[in-house]
């Protein structure tokens, strides 16, 4: 998650300076959302079956992370935007 956070901050800093594109933002969102899903699912696995119950906050983290995955466009759309920019 630290790499995703650093990337988001770098893109935000570039955006403040007017040196970024929507593809940079798509890349930051893609990395952050994929890492959030991965880490939250690992937390569920660490707790075993209890990770799916509402007694632990982990189940909420998974639901929130999946919303990052699909909110404001899916990760597939973000990959398409980034690929189109890279290939011209």
Q: Quick one: average pLDDT of 61-80?
A: 84
Q: How far apart are CA 23 and CA 19, in angstroms?
A: 12
Q: What residues make up the domain containing 18?
A: 2-87
- The DSSP 8-state label assigned to residue 42 in this structure reads H
Q: Considering its fold, how many domains does the chain have in total? A: 1
Q: Exposure string (b/e) for 35-49, b if CB count within 10 Å is 16 or more?
A: bbbeebbebbeeeee
In this predicted structure, the answer to whether residue 88 has a pLDDT above a threshold of 80 is no
The CATH number for 50's domain is 1.20.140.10
* pLDDT tens figures, 6-65: 998 999 999 899 887 778 888 888 888 889 999 999 999 998 888 888 888 898 999 898
Vertex 31 angle, CA 12 and 83, to 5°:
95
Q: Which residue has better confidence, 36 or 68?
A: 36
> What pLDDT, on a 0 to 100 scale, did the predictor assign at position 25?
84
Residue 73 has pLDDT above 80, yes or no: no
């Amino acid at each position: 998650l630290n790499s995703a956070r650093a990337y988001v901050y770098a893109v935000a800093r570039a955006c403040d300076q007017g040196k970024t594109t929507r593809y940079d933002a798509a890349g930051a969102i893609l990395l952050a959302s994929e890492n959030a899903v991965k880490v939250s699912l690992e937390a569920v696995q660490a707790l075993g079956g209890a990770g799916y119950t509402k007694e632990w906050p982990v189940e909420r983290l998974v639901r929130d992370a999946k919303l990052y995955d699909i909110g404001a466009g899916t990760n597939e759309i973000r990959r398409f935007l980034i690929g189109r920019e890279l290939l011209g």
